[in-house]
Structure 1
Amino acid sequence: MATAVQLVNQFLASGQFKPLLAVIKGLRNGAVYGAKIRAPHAVVMTFLFKTGSLSDKLRSIFEATWTHSRNLASFVFLYKTMTSILTWLEEKPEQYHSFFAAFIGGYYVFGNYNKVNEQINLYLLSRIIYGLAKLAVKRGYVAAPKRDVFPVFAALVWGVVLWMFEYEKDTLQPSLRSSMTYLYHDSNIWHNLRDFLIYNR
């Protein structure tokens, strides 16, 4: 007689209800991945840069981790549900299904402004721009470079961001401003050996 675990394993392996089970697994993976990504980052950033009591810091870490985990799980759930429905309706997957489902999910999940969503959206934007440049070469819209363009890419990124920091600082994200102030402006200030080598100010 099969055990409950064996029956569940047989059901999962049978392929019945695969789209529904894929949505549930996607929800699970979104929650786990969001927590894995955000928790270490939140711990480091909170203890390095935030002031306040230990309970305030722990609450901040939990809130950031919860927000990232919940939002990623929600987005994966919406995206996989909508692409599954569209594929079922049209009897095959189409390229626009991905864009449409992600557009709706992005609007409702990552369109709510908070620091976590801002960071995720900015992270994706940089990858999209880089990916679109590669796609333009792949599709033949732009000729393939004859030499390595990564140094030029790096030069433009750093040239623009430092110009913006020095002359249009208010247009940059606060955490970037804070990091750059520490690196480029606070390094101009000291009074003795102690705040030259050990402390910042």
Structure 2
Amino acid sequence: MEINLQNIELIGNYLLYRFRKQKYILAAIKGLRNGIVYGVRIRAPHALVMVFLFGSGSFLQKIRSILTLTKTHAFNLGRFVFAYKLMLGLMEKLAGEYKTWYPFIAAFTVGYFVWGENNGVNTQINLYLLSRILYGLVKLAVEKQIIREPNGPVFPWFAAIIWGTVLWMFENHSHVLQSSLQTSMKYLYHDSNVWTDIRNFILRNE
């Protein structure tokens, strides 16, 4: 077994050396690996907690749900990283230089096909990125002096607007919110209105 592992390692190292000039292809393969690993690390614990806390069905159904969510997240992320890095490398190789707009074109194209399906995992990831993008764009606009840097603290107002808006939407138009957010907010803000005795007041929720 030890000899076989050594042989495999030698072959692997030879292949890395043999294709060293096609670094963008090797980087895409490594990106596929890292995307899958990162997707599993991120999604599996999250799915485990959410499915067992708020999900319905038997134990086996919950396990299947966790595995499905993890697989979807991990393989989508792996496919995206692989295709994005491959396309980015090809664009740079064909043009003979790197341009700052290449990442947008590569990610735009690959993102359409990988993250474009309207399902729970893709929706959550796209919304996660949207919030970070908006926050980053504001900071970039200040950095580039497109807008003036505020004199006073902004984050408290940012938090106030976010929480005021989401609770207004939840209380009045909850159907437009993502289902997982509806479930979480119902548990926090509506289920806390209901109890019949001390047991379901403190020990459990009904």
Q: TM-score, normalised by structure 2?
A: 0.91
Task: Give the superposition deviation at 1:140.
Answer: 0.6
Q: Residue 127 in 1 paired to residue 132 in 2? A: yes
Task: Give the superposition deviation at 1:167.
Answer: 1.2
Q: Residue 9 in 1 paired to residue 13 in 2? A: yes
Counterpart position of 2:3: none
Tell me, which stretches of 5 or more residues in structure 1 are unaligned? none
Counterpart position of 1:87: 92
Counterpart position of 2:172: 167
Whole-Å separation in 2 of the counterparts to 1:59 and 1:91: 47
Whole-Å separation in 2 of the counterparts to 1:51 and 1:93: 50
Aligned-partner SS, 1:168: helix
State the AA in 2 paired with 1:167: N
State the identity %: 52
Contact 2:54 2:183 in 1 (8 A): no
Farther off after superposition, 175-184 or 10-19: 10-19
Task: Give the superposition deviation at 1:146.
Answer: 1.5
Task: List structure 1 runs of 4+ shifted beyond 6 angstroms.
Answer: none
Tell me, which stretches of 5 or more residues in structure 2 are unaligned? 1-5
Aligned-partner SS, 1:95: coil
Whole-Å separation in 1 of the counterparts to 2:16 and 2:157: 50
Q: Residue 145 in 1 paired to residue 146 in 2? A: no
Equivalences for residues 1-201 of structure 1 within 5 A: 4=7, 5-6=9-10, 8-9=12-13, 12=16, 15-201=20-206
Task: Give the superposition deviation at 1:56.
Answer: 0.7
Aligned-partner SS, 2:101: helix
Task: Give the superposition deviation at 1:114.
Answer: 1.0
Whole-Å separation in 1 of the counterparts to 2:11 and 2:201: 67
Task: Give the superposition deviation at 1:105.
Answer: 1.0
Farther off after superposition, 56-65 or 44-53: 44-53
Q: Structure 1 residues 111 and 193 mapped into 2: Cα distance closer, same or farther (>3 Å)? A: same
How many residues are treated as equivalent by the alignment? 199
Q: Structure 1 residues 155 and 13 mapped into 2: Cα distance closer, same or farther (>3 Å)? A: farther
Q: CA RMSD of the aligned region, Å?
A: 1.5
Q: TM-score, normalised by structure 1?
A: 0.93
Farther off after superposition, 95-104 or 6-15: 6-15
